[in-house]
């Protein structure tokens, strides 16, 4: 019974492809697609597990500390290599 439904569905889908859709039908399908997109997006956003305020605060502080440490390391390396090049060139 399931095979007959699958065959009928496939045959119907094939016949739907061969039918020409009017301009207004295409416009209607376009806006249906947009509506489906926003409905699906809303459904997906309901599934998201949002971080707590404490998690956001902790992660923000971690990122800022790592960025500051990386900046200090790069500044020190720049000073060291810049000084070495000045000594080699003799400028």
The secondary structure of 13-57 as a DSSP string is HHHHHHSPPPHHHHHHHHHHHHHHHHHHHHHHHHH--PPPHHHHH
The pLDDT of residue 4 is 58
Tell me: the pLDDT tens digits for 9-35?
655 656 555 567 788 888 889 999 999
**Position 7 confidence tier, pLDDT thresholds 50, 70, 90:** low
- Find the mean pLDDT for residues 41-66: 96
The pLDDT of residue 22 is 86
**Position 66 confidence tier, pLDDT thresholds 50, 70, 90:** very high
The pLDDT of residue 35 is 93
> In angstroms, rounded to a whole number, what is the distance separating the alpha carbons of residues 50 and 28?
35
């Amino acid at each position: 019974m399931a095979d007959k439904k699958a065959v009928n569905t496939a045959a119907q889908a094939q016949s739907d492809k061969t039918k020409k859709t009017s301009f207004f039908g295409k416009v209607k399908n376009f806006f249906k697609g947009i509506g489906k997109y926003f409905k699906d997006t809303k459904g997906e956003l309901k599934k998201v597990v949002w971080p707590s305020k404490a998690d956001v605060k902790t992660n923000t502080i971690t990122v800022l500390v790592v960025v500051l440490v990386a900046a200090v390391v790069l500044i020190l390396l720049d000073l060291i290599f810049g000084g070495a090049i000045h000594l080699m060139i003799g400028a």
